[in-house]
A and B are shown apart, each in its own frame.
Chain A
């Protein structure tokens, strides 16, 4: 059962921070500008079964920025969002959002915090039995006591912001994937949150709706003074709007910097991921014993 020797990943030296040593370290920087940091993750470890998803992860997200977390599929990007929003608990370490430790909050406190977070799910997660209008109105009806006329105006404004005011009477199953995501975005900003988390907003989108989403994310971030956390593996689109990029793999941050810094980074890991090379530190082959050894074994599958 022990493939330790043949595991190609364990032999690779990992480049940790793309910023060279003469630049100020991340840790130092975050202390210097603590009020500037909206989300701070310290010593985060999370395992699912035997698999270590995050190992002592440290990460900061500055207010007002679009921060992208990139990494290959299965590197736990979505898990990171779920940890930040308190949907799951870490095995070690803590996450602070706006000065509050997410996993120390009781349910009421967590729900209070979530009202200030919007999240855009991969599938949109619209309630299928409600119209577009009702979906966007849902969090407002839930958490506010607005008179119907004001509520209607607010919902129409949010829908206008994503360009779907005309689609307000459609049901989610009548929307295209891109439209559904834009409606979900309108719903996520309905309560004017502090930050929005985007889970793979670009996957499975045609170039046009992809372009729309890219532009929308940036516009919303700047116009409404939001902080955006973007999880994605679409390098080009993500790099075009992000202020700050983290690349994670193997449970660790392997690179951090602005898109320009990462583009100039020469480490093998970063190059393979950013340029989409088929082979590199991340191997084409899933870890396995040598082919001859597998051929010799009889009886097993």
Chain B
């Protein structure tokens, strides 16, 4: 055939559009199920535990090290301009604006997102979702909705913990090891980090990332082929897609928030 490659491209495009459509329909059904978690808050607690509490260690440790590296690297650059006093500003702004929300989202996608995809995919493969449906229980409301809101709620808290621990790590390296003035570190930080511009925007970012990461994870699981191979492929896709979308959305959000 003459336009084979063109047709193949078209097929890929149509397939992607179709998946996107299904993903949005799923999101709508998930969000409409919000009544379920009001009726059974226990479901939500269990998911905040799964996504939030179980990600705490990796988020905390990563935050500490990222903060320490920022302190170290920032110090060497700033020292060249005699501006070591601004170390606190640099560490805090990078963490609160960017690294906190973004790195946390990537970590959660790897730690909790993949687990969500595999769990849902396996439930589908072992007919547990159909089983629920046959018991007249909506699996979207019962299984997906609590996981979704658990992820969305846990993400900003995790990002805040990441940033706070990171600032502490930067303080430890900058003030404790490299001898930056204690008072200058905090006062400069306080005068330059804006509550609305930086902190609120960071929280908004991580809320959006929470939606993105859990949505992708749940959709990949729910849409996976009900075989061992299908579930493993979906799990990989869940992490890869979530990482790419988080970084892309981060660019757009940054442009919108700090663009003027």
Chain A residues proximal to chain B, CB less than 8 Å = 85, 87, 107, 111-112, 114-115, 117-119, 121-123, 125-128, 138-139, 142-143, 184, 187
Which residues of B137-179 are within 8 A (CB) of A?
A: 137-138
Partner of A139, one of B128, B130, B135: B135
A122–B133 CB distance below 8 A: no
- With A and B bound together, what is the CA distance between A112 and B138 in angstroms? 12
A219 vs chain B, min Cβ distance (A): 22
Interchain Cβ contacts under 8 Å between A and B, 13 examples? A87-B130, A114-B133, A114-B136, A115-B135, A115-B136, A118-B134, A119-B131, A125-B126, A125-B130, A127-B132, A128-B123, A138-B137, A142-B136
- With A and B bound together, what is the CA distance between A120 and B155 in angstroms? 39
- With A and B bound together, what is the CA distance between A132 and B138 in angstroms? 21
A138–B128 CB distance below 8 A: no
Which residues of B94-151 are within 8 A (CB) of A?
A: 123, 126-128, 130-138
B136–A111 CB distance below 8 A: yes
A121–B136 CB distance below 8 A: no
Partner of A126, one of B128, B133, B138: B128
- With A and B bound together, what is the CA distance between A142 and B40 in angstroms? 11
B135–A114 CB distance below 8 A: yes
Instruction: Count chain A CB atoms within 10 A of each CB in B128, B132, B134 and give the residue with the most.
Output: B134
A131 vs chain B, min Cβ distance (A): 15
- With A and B bound together, what is the CA distance between A121 and B134 in angstroms? 10
**Nearest CB in chain B to that of A138: its residue:** B135
A177 vs chain B, min Cβ distance (A): 12
B134–A85 CB distance below 8 A: yes
Q: Which residues of B contact A143 (CB under 8 A)?
A: 136
**Nearest CB in chain B to that of A111: its residue:** B136
B137–A122 CB distance below 8 A: no
A142–B135 CB distance below 8 A: yes
B234 vs chain A, min Cβ distance (A): 18
Q: Which residues of A contact B130 (CB under 8 A)?
A: 87, 121, 125
Number of A-B contacts (CB under 8 A): 49
B136–A125 CB distance below 8 A: no
A10 vs chain B, min Cβ distance (A): 27
A217 vs chain B, min Cβ distance (A): 17
A122–B127 CB distance below 8 A: yes
B136–A112 CB distance below 8 A: yes
A52 vs chain B, min Cβ distance (A): 22
A128–B136 CB distance below 8 A: no
- With A and B bound together, what is the CA distance between A118 and B136 in angstroms? 10
Q: Which residues of B contact A139 (CB under 8 A)?
A: 135-137
Q: Which residues of A contact B138 (CB under 8 A)?
A: 107, 111
Closest 5 CB pairs of A and B: A125-B131, A125-B127, A111-B136, A114-B136, A119-B134
A183 vs chain B, min Cβ distance (A): 12
A121–B137 CB distance below 8 A: no
**Nearest CB in chain A to that of B143: its residue:** A127
- With A and B bound together, what is the CA distance between A86 and B128 in angstroms? 16
- With A and B bound together, what is the CA distance between A111 and B134 in angstroms? 8
- With A and B bound together, what is the CA distance between A138 and B131 in angstroms? 11
- With A and B bound together, what is the CA distance between A138 and B139 in angstroms? 13
A87-B130, A125-B127 given; 18 more Cβ-contact pairs under 8 Å: A107-B138, A111-B136, A114-B135, A115-B136, A117-B134, A118-B134, A119-B131, A123-B127, A125-B126, A125-B128, A125-B131, A126-B131, A127-B131, A128-B123, A138-B135, A142-B135, A143-B136, A187-B135
Q: Which residues of B contact A125 (CB under 8 A)?
A: 126-128, 130-131
- With A and B bound together, what is the CA distance between A249 and B120 in angstroms? 34
A173 vs chain B, min Cβ distance (A): 11
- With A and B bound together, what is the CA distance between A127 and B123 in angstroms? 8
- With A and B bound together, what is the CA distance between A87 and B135 in angstroms? 12
**Nearest CB in chain B to that of A119: its residue:** B134
Q: Which residues of A contact B127 (CB under 8 A)?
A: 121-123, 125
**Nearest CB in chain A to that of B126: its residue:** A123
A127–B128 CB distance below 8 A: yes
Q: Which residues of A contact B135 (CB under 8 A)?
A: 114-115, 138-139, 142, 187
B260 vs chain A, min Cβ distance (A): 46
Instruction: Count chain B CB atoms within 10 A of each CB in A112, A125, A187 and give the residue with the most.
Output: A125
Partner of B128, one of A112, A128, A142: A128
- With A and B bound together, what is the CA distance between A24 and B247 in angstroms? 70
A121–B133 CB distance below 8 A: no
Instruction: Count chain A CB atoms within 10 A of each CB in B126, B131, B133 and give the residue with the most.
Output: B131
A139 vs chain B, min Cβ distance (A): 5
- With A and B bound together, what is the CA distance between A138 and B136 in angstroms? 11
- With A and B bound together, what is the CA distance between A255 and B86 in angstroms? 86
**Nearest CB in chain B to that of A115: its residue:** B136
